[in-house]
Amino acid sequence: MIHEVDGVLRALIRAEVLEGRQIAVVFDAPTREWAAKVNAPMVNLYLYDIREDMRRRERGLHNEYDERGAIVARRRPPRYFKLSYLITAWTKRPEDEHRLLSSLLACLLRYEALPPDRLAGTLAEVGAAVPMSIALPPPEDRSFADVWSALGGELKPSLDLVISVPVTASPVYEAGPPVGDEGLRAEFGDMPAPGEGGGVTEAQPGRGGLPVYGSRPGRPGRPDRPDRPAPQPSGLGGERVRGVSLRITETRGGPSSETRGGPSEGRGGRSEGRDA
């Protein structure tokens, strides 16, 4: 991916800036030792920083379709990485260097992204734009003076080129076949009674023909139930249903307690009765 960006930049600068002039385009680190060996005009594009562009990160999955429009696979969205190039011009005269830097700046300002017709390899297969910016202020955590100090060379006029490159190196998740009409079938209606293809049933006291747990559900029949007693009436004039009731009374002590409750209850006594 990085070498493909290098190739696009080299071809773009040679075609629109150098225009056939005998000026080399290199990607070497401009150290003090390297600068001492320069004996011909050249443009140096030094890649000094690579970091992810967190503002462009996406979540989720992207679908891949076949010629029929069906989803055949899913993959993670591309992640963008910023490639920072330090562009410098090297000639024998400072005036020639400034003129060359001016031509480079004018060329790169015409584009907000790498020209699509010059993309090749994986950059062309992605089908996404490759944005770039030129001569923007550096981030707060980095300055160009620090870059030159790290290289051990003298500070030199330069252009900062930042290119956001999409990277699609991620696992591919194959999608299952599409669901057709035969995938699921639902019917509505009465369920068959026992003996007509229904589930296994089991007689229970008072409720015959209930389905057995875990068997195929069936609709039990509703025959008459002679084994279930008919409801018995209760109340005035009817037969009383057998049961048990509990009544608790309390007599408080006093002069009239014996008169009201009789001798059998006694002072402070308590009587209980059970009706059957």
Q: How many residues does the chain have?
A: 276
In angstroms, rounded to a whole number, what is the distance separating the alpha carbons of residues 97 and 125? Answer: 37
Q: Which two tokens stand for residue 271?
A: 């009587």
Torsional sign, CA 200, 204, 210, 211:
negative
- Determine how many CB atoms are found less than 10 A away from the CB of residue 98: 12
- Residue 19 in this model has a pLDDT that exceeds 50: yes
Q: What is the pLDDT of residues 100-157, one digit of tens each?
A: 999 999 999 999 999 988 988 888 887 788 999 998 887 776 777 778 888 877 788 8
- Determine how many CB atoms are found less than 10 A away from the CB of residue 30: 23
Return the pLDDT at 174: 74
In angstroms, rounded to a whole number, what is the distance separating the alpha carbons of residues 179 and 30? Answer: 60
Q: Which two tokens stand for residue 259?
A: 């008169």
* Mean pLDDT, rounded, for 194-217: 53
- Determine how many CB atoms are found less than 10 A away from the CB of residue 109: 11
Q: Which two tokens stand for residue 208?
A: 């015959």
Return the pLDDT at 122: 83
From the DSSP assignment, how many helices (H) and strands (E) are in the chain? 6, 12
Return the pLDDT at 13: 93
Q: How confident is the model at residue 65 (pLDDT cuts 50, 70, 90)?
A: confident
In angstroms, rounded to a whole number, what is the distance separating the alpha carbons of residues 137 and 188? Answer: 70
Return the pLDDT at 121: 82
In angstroms, rounded to a whole number, what is the distance separating the alpha carbons of residues 207 and 234? Answer: 24
Lowest mean pLDDT among 47-61, 78-92, 233-247: 233-247
What's the chain's Rg over C-alpha atoms?
A: 47
**Stated pTM of the model:** 0.58
Tokens 């049933």 sit on residue: 201
Lowest mean pLDDT among 5-9, 117-121, 177-181: 177-181
Tokens 């026992």 sit on residue: 194
